[in-house]
Amino acid sequence: MNNLTLADNASAALGFPPGFDWLDTVGARLGADGLPDFGDRRAEAAAALASDVVAPLADRGSLRVRGADADAFLQGQLSNDLRELTPTRGQLTSYSNPKGRVLAIFAAIRAGDEIWMETSRSLLAATLKRLKMFVMRSKVQLDDAGSDVVSIGIAGPNADRVLDAAGLLVPSVLCLCAEVDGIVVMRRRGPQNRYTLHGPAARLAALWPTLAAHARPVGTEAWRLTDILAGFPALHPETAEQHVAQMMNLDKLEGVSFSKGCYPGQEIVARLHYLGNLKRRMFVARTPAGTVVRGAPIVVAGGEGQAVGDVLDHALHPEGGQALLVVLQTAQAEAGDLRIGSSEGPAVDVLR
């Protein structure tokens, strides 16, 4: 069992996250970490890697941005070029502090006259508060979309057929979006077919039985496993403001534009890009056993105990232990014995 924070305990006490209170009617339960599953997380993780699955993305929330100056405002705050965000093309982007350290990572979608920015629910309130500080006289409104915009995921070898059975369009290209009756489908990165659905909670709840008839329901952590193995990062309070965008491969994931105008941290990001002196990158890894917490240092066994990286995220692996995203010194990625926490901590096997 993972270590729980006070926020995790509070989430469990309050019940299902906002917009997902309907999950108890479809057989979901709430885990001790405040996230829903369907009774067997390890089996659900195995299903997520081998078959068609549908998952509530209950650890995600969305910022909603609207107003005449919405595009101009976000263009001056985020790492990607908002001019390339269209109703049929979403994008990955990030928000950093002036030192270039990433505060939040977003999947951005244009829906009518609004922009929806999906991010970690645990960072949503703090990110919203910070962005509002810079609105000033701009004609822009920012709020927590709450149950007006929630997300579920569909993955698997026949995920396109699952969408088709539900009467939804199937985006054919990474980050391509398709809207049907208020529900936006976005194709996501991954070795298998992966899509996310975004829209009002009531609409997605009504659609769930159809999706579940063609794909196995799995919990939020099982979906996070597919994110991790796809090399798709997420930030949490323990890991926010620790890394520059390139250290989490956001440049490789097309989440950074090097030709747009200024934004917080842009000078640092550009310097790393053009000078080519980046010393840390994100890697997919695995640990066979032991307790893992986000932000835990990674050290070289037998070394001096100095951290050479840290754990960005983790999720149960069906073959035991945890799948990991880790940020490491590139010189240490293929080094000998890496451990979490201390020289006696769980081993880290870097996969790619």
Q: What is the pLDDT of residues 306-346, one digit of tens each?
A: 899 999 999 999 999 999 999 999 999 887 789 999 988 99
Query: What integer is the mean pLDDT of 185-207?
Result: 96
- Which residue in the block uniquely carries the two structure tokens 């829903």? 36
Output the pLDDT for position 7.
Answer: 37
Higher confidence at residue 204 or residue 8? 204
Q: What is the residue type of 35?
A: L
Query: What integer is the mean pLDDT of 22-48?
Result: 96
- Alpha-carbon Rg for the chain in angstroms: 20
Q: What is the pLDDT of residues 21-30, one digit of tens each?
A: 999 999 999 9
Query: What integer is the mean pLDDT of 115-124?
Result: 97
Q: Exposed, middle or buried: residue 13 (CB in 10 Å: 0-12, 13-18, 19+)?
A: exposed
Say how many residues make up the chain: 352
Query: What integer is the mean pLDDT of 182-210?
Result: 96
Beta-strand relationship, 114-120 and 102-111 = antiparallel
How many angstroms separate the most distant Cα atoms in the chain?
59
Angle, helices 220-229 vs 41-50, to 10°: value is 50
pLDDT-derived band at 301, boundaries 50, 70, 90 = confident
Query: What integer is the mean pLDDT of 31-53?
Result: 96
Helix (H) or strand (E) segment spanning residue 299:
strand 297-300
Look at residue 44 and tell me whether its pLDDT is greater than 70.
yes
Beta strands per DSSP E along the chain? 29-30, 36-37, 53-56, 60-66, 91-96, 102-111, 114-120, 141-144, 150-155, 177-180, 183-188, 194-199, 216-217, 280-287, 297-300, 309-316, 322-329, 338-340, 347-350
Look at residue 3 and tell me whether its pLDDT is greater than 90.
no
Tell me how far CA of residue 21 lies from CA of 4, 98, 124, 175, in angstroms.
Answer: 22, 38, 19, 28
Q: How far is 119 from 334, CA to CA, in rounded Å? A: 31
Q: How far is 265 from 242, CA to CA, in rounded Å? A: 13
Output the pLDDT for position 15.
Answer: 86
Q: How far is 317 from 9, CA to CA, in rounded Å? A: 23
Q: Are 69 and 138 in contact (CB under 8 A)?
A: yes
Q: How far is 286 from 348, CA to CA, in rounded Å? A: 6
Query: Could you tell me which residues are beta bridge partners of residue 78?
Result: 95
Which residues, in sequence order, are CB contacts of 241 under 8 Å at separation 6+? 97, 101, 102, 103
Domain ranges of the chain: 1-220, 245-350
Q: Exposed, middle or buried: residue 133 (CB in 10 Å: 0-12, 13-18, 19+)?
A: exposed
Q: How far is 202 from 204, CA to CA, in rounded Å? A: 6
CATH topology of domain 1-220: Gyrase A; domain 2 (3.30.1360)
Higher confidence at residue 301 or residue 60? 60
Q: Which CATH class is domain 245-350?
A: mainly beta
Q: How far is 150 from 119, CA to CA, in rounded Å? A: 11
Which residues, in sequence order, are CB contacts of 117 under 8 Å at separation 6+? 62, 63, 64, 65, 93, 106, 107, 108, 109
Q: Are 119 and 57 in contact (CB under 8 A)?
A: no
Look at residue 305 and tell me whether its pLDDT is greater than 80.
no
Query: Could you tell me which residues are beta bridge partners of residue 283?
Result: 326
Q: In a 3-state reduction of DSSP, which class is residue 160?
A: helix
